[in-house]
């Protein structure tokens, strides 16, 4: 027998997009059920993005979900760009009045899951075989939990289930544009106390490097590597030696080494699918778009999407305003492409793209851009506004 139920909005995916949306809709008095294919331990442990823009932090505070973030998050009022052996600081606070906060995505997920469960709201883990029917009329969501079939009758479906989730496949007339970059990032988590309180983006002739952190005791660092690189081919000694080469230690910067807790290679790609809505189904976050991580935009874009989704969902559920749903794609896509451009621009400015004359030409362009960025107040302000997230798309 199928276990049947009803709700206003079915949210597929319990990442930051789906969970933030669930809290926004709950605040508006709209009933939701969140469906997640993994178990709770998995989503609370997977390491993902860790940079929150100023507007993302402000929203979490507004929702009353930032207690631990404010206590444990690392506030950065600037970022450093390293090239030609020296570091140059971009002061976010002075240029924009804002800042970013480093707080791991898994920590955000822990906070949002706990708040939802503490409120007694439905969050279903270990969901399989999610499918939708009649998304143009009265949507029906079917799924299974440990082999037991379930069905939900809903007003709307929010597809927050990531790039590999089923939701995007139900969007009619879907078009997608994408770009794969010829390199990836070898990322590590190390039990080493950070020696800096800001990120360092390094442009180096051997390839890009990023110095970051996750807590006062954990360092998060990245190296540009070939896209098909095997992370296991990199010993601890090789990793630390390569960071020593690529980071600008000649100007007095030092970093701590320590046991490497995790390593893996992340592909670099851009992807945008439109429309982000089909009938009563709306996509958000990685289900609709991917950005290379250079600009730290992925999680923040997802949060921005669901702020719009919550608004149009409330108008539709409360007032039957179908026109509100029609505006969703256009309102989101403007911001998506602004973030795509910023992420592409940072990626092309900081990475090596090959060997030979073409790369030598591009490297001189990169250095010219970096010199301009770190000497022009106007250029630095534009960069800071985009990075902090206070720019209007």
Active-site annotation holds for 110:
no
Per the residue annotation, which of 23, 54, 76, 150 is the catalytic one? 76
Secondary structure (H, E, C), 90-115: EEHHHHHCCCEEECCHHHHHHHHHHH
Contacts of 264 (CB under 8 A, 6+ apart): 186, 187, 231
Token digits of residue 304: 């921005």
Residue with tokens 């970059």: 181
Residue with tokens 């621009």: 345
- Cβ neighbours, 10 Å, residue 381: 17
Per the residue annotation, which of 222, 292, 293, 328 is the catalytic one? 293
Per the residue annotation, which of 54, 204, 289, 297 is the catalytic one? 297
CA dist., res. 393 & res. 389, Å (int) = 10
CA dist., res. 349 & res. 269, Å (int) = 16
Report residue 274 CA to chain centroid gap. Answer: 19
CA dist., res. 352 & res. 362, Å (int) = 8
Dihedral angle, C-alpha 19, 333, 343, 21, nearest 10 ° = -10
Per the residue annotation, which of 103, 143, 201, 211 is the catalytic one? 201
User: DSSP states of 115-158 as a string?
Assistant: HHHHTT--EE-SEEEEEEE-TTSS-EEEEEETTEEEEEE-SEEE
Residue with tokens 């600081």: 89
Query: Which residues form the catalytic set?
Result: 76, 201, 293, 297, 387
């Amino acid at each position: 027998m199928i276990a049947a139920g009803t709700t206003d909005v079915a949210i597929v995916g319990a990442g930051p997009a789906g969970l933030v949306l669930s809290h926004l809709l709950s605040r508006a008095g709209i009933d939701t059920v969140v469906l997640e294919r993994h178990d709770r331990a998995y989503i609370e442990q997977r390491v993902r993005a860790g940079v929150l823009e100023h507007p993302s932090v402000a929203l979490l505070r507004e929702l009353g979900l930032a207690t631990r973030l404010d206590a444990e998050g690392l506030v950065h009022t600037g970022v450093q760009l390293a090239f030609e052996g020296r570091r140059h600081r971009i002061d976010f606070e002075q240029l924009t009045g804002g800042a970013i906060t480093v707080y791991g995505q898994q920590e955000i997920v822990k906070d949002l899951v706990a708040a939802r469960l503490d409120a007694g709201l439905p969050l279903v883990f270990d969901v399989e075989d999610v499918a939708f029917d009649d998304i143009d009329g009265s949507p029906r969501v079917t799924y299974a939990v440990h082999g037991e079939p379930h069905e939900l009758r809903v007003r709307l479906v929010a597809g927050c289930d990531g790039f590999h989730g089923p939701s995007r496949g139900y969007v009619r007339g879907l078009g997608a544009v994408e770009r794969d970059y010829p390199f990836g990032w070898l990322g590590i988590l190390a039990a080493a106390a950070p020696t800096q309180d800001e990120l360092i983006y390094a442009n180096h002739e051997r390839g890009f490097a990023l110095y970051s952190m996750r807590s006062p005791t954990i360092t998060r660092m990245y190296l540009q590597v070939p896209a098909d690189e095997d992370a296991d081919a990199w010993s601890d000694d090789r990793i630390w030696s390569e960071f020593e080469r690529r980071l600008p230690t000649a100007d007095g910067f030092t970093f701590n080494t320590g046991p490497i807790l995790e390593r893996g290679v992340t592909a670099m790609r851009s992807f945008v699918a439109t429309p982000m809505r089909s009938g009563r189904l709306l996509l958000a976050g990685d289900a609709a778009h991917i950005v290379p991580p250079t600009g730290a935009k992925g999680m923040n874009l997802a949060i921005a999407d669901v702020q719009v989704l919550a608004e149009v969902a409330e108008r539709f559920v409360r007032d039957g305003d179908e026109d509100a749903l029609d505006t969703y794609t256009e309102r989101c896509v403007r911001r998506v492409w602004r973030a795509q451009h910023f992420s592409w621009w940072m990626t092309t400015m900081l990475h090596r793209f090959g060997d030979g004359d073409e790369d030598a030409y591009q490297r001189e362009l990169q250095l010219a851009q970096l010199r301009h960025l770190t000497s022009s107040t106007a250029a630095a302000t534009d960069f800071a506004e985009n990075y902090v997230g206070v720019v209007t798309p």
